[in-house]
Amino acid sequence: MCYTQNRFKALLSACVMSLIATAGWSQSLTWLGVLPNGIDSEAFGVSADGAVVVGLAHNAAWQWRAFRWTAAGGMQDLGTLPGGRESWAYGVSADGSVVVGWSYNAAGYRHAFRWTALGGMQDLGHLGGGLGVAYGVSADGSVVVGGAQNAAGRWLAFRWTALGGMQDLGHLGGGGSDAFDVSADGRVVVGKAYDARGRWRAFRWTASGGMQDLGTLPGGNESWAHGVSADGSVVVGWSYNAARWPRAFRWTASGGMQDLGTLGGSWSYACDVSADGSVVVGYAQNAARQRNHAFRWTAAGGMEDLNTTYASLLTNGSWLGEARAISPDGRYIVGVGRNAATRRVEAFLLDTGPRCTAHNGDVDANGCVDDADLLAVLLAFGQTGSNLGRVDVNCDGVVDDADLLQVLLNFGSGC
């Protein structure tokens, strides 16, 4: 038995080295650059296929401008509302055609906008008080959420549609709220709201249930919700803990608010979550209490530093500071970091490669990635089609080296 194990480990090691060399093409890091004569950029949203990234960047006049980036067209300045001087982009639809954010108008007020290539930047207005910001958009681009000022001067979360206009979502008794994200179908909205005692609380809103206070981590007194899964069942954000440190959380109705931990430091913030709620991204302090480090969290792997996991993609002196958004399938991650080659703070697009977040190599679904899973892939090697089941680990329609690599890289997980 010892002989068999040692021989297997030797074979496993050799396979890993060989496959890493051939499969590295599936992972890449793209620094998105800056606007012409600009100095920096930051990314806040990514389309489902990773082809479109949105965010903000300084232009040559040192004014913030909303941008839309594609590999073919580079970084496009989306301009401003008529007469405005600055704009920010926060969210993008699944197909990349709709961008939302805010822009100054001619009167110097921030107004929420919805941008399309044909219609340009549409002013979504406000709730009667002159100010508004859009943060999130549904998958099809028809529902926009954010915060706006009402006639009484209160800042309140809103949900906008072309038919209904801007709807005030209310608050939790404290007179103020803000909406940061919306489910794929536009029915569930998450954000922060003041409670009756004047404390920020993460909320989850539905038309039938209104605004629900998600509470805090044990001992904490405030929380914010920043992201929501496609069906609205998983919410992520941050909450103070008993020690008064902000900690990333993942909330479900059945499990409540789960502390996702840190990278060894004291604090962490969760910014977004994949469509199925299994992958969370954000940023955290590491054990050396260094600058922000972008992270990815999964139930199986916990919180991992993207600078460590994808060190081979980073040049010396570069780092990924904050992971701001993730594509629905969990493959693409965008945010902001430092590009040592240009000596600039820049938006980044990280392609983590084909992934199937439901099992990541656990082919037989027994909670342990072991030799049985490896054998299953080897026996099915070369098969193609759309009904391969879990043996097609990365869900690309063929059982090949990429599937074998996923099993090998996750070997021993959960065992």
| Tokens linked to 139 | 């998958």
From the options 3.30.479.30, 2.40.50.100, 2.120.10.30, 3.40.50.720, give the CATH code of 28-351: 2.120.10.30
CATH architecture for the domain at 357-415 = Orthogonal Bundle (1.10)
**Every domain of the chain and the residues it spans:** 28-351, 357-415
Q: Would you say 53 and 78 are in contact if contact means Cβ atoms under 8 Å apart? A: no
| Confidence at residue 387, expressed as pLDDT on a 0 to 100 scale | 59
Contacts of 89 (CB under 8 A, 6+ apart): 44, 45, 54, 55, 56, 66, 67, 68, 78, 99, 100, 101, 115
Angle at alpha carbon of residue 58, lines to 41 and 53, rounded to 5°:
40
Residues 6+ positions from 409 with CB-CB distance below 8 Å:
16, 361
Please give, one letter per residue, the 3-state secondary structure of 68-104.
Answer: EEECCCEEEECCCCCCCCCEEEEEECCCCCCEEEEEE
Tens-digit pLDDT string for the chain (415 aa): 343 344 444 444 444 444 444 444 468 999 999 999 999 999 999 999 999 999 999 999 999 999 999 999 999 999 999 999 999 999 999 999 999 999 999 999 999 999 999 999 999 989 999 999 999 999 999 999 999 999 999 999 999 999 999 999 999 999 999 999 999 999 999 999 999 999 999 999 999 999 999 999 999 999 999 999 999 999 999 999 999 999 999 999 999 999 999 999 999 999 999 999 999 999 999 998 877 999 999 998 999 999 999 999 999 999 999 999 999 989 999 999 999 999 999 999 999 986 554 457 887 777 788 898 899 899 999 988 755 677 888 777 788 998 898 899 888 887 8
- What is the per-residue pLDDT for 355? 57
pLDDT of residue 45: 98
Q: What is the pairing mode between strands 64-70 and 173-182?
A: unpaired
- Give pLDDT, residue 202: 98
- Residue 259: exposure state from Cβ atoms within 10 A (0-12, 13-18, ≥19): middle
Give the CA distances from residue 112 to residues 102, 286, 371, in Å, rounded to whole numbers and listed in that order: 4, 35, 54
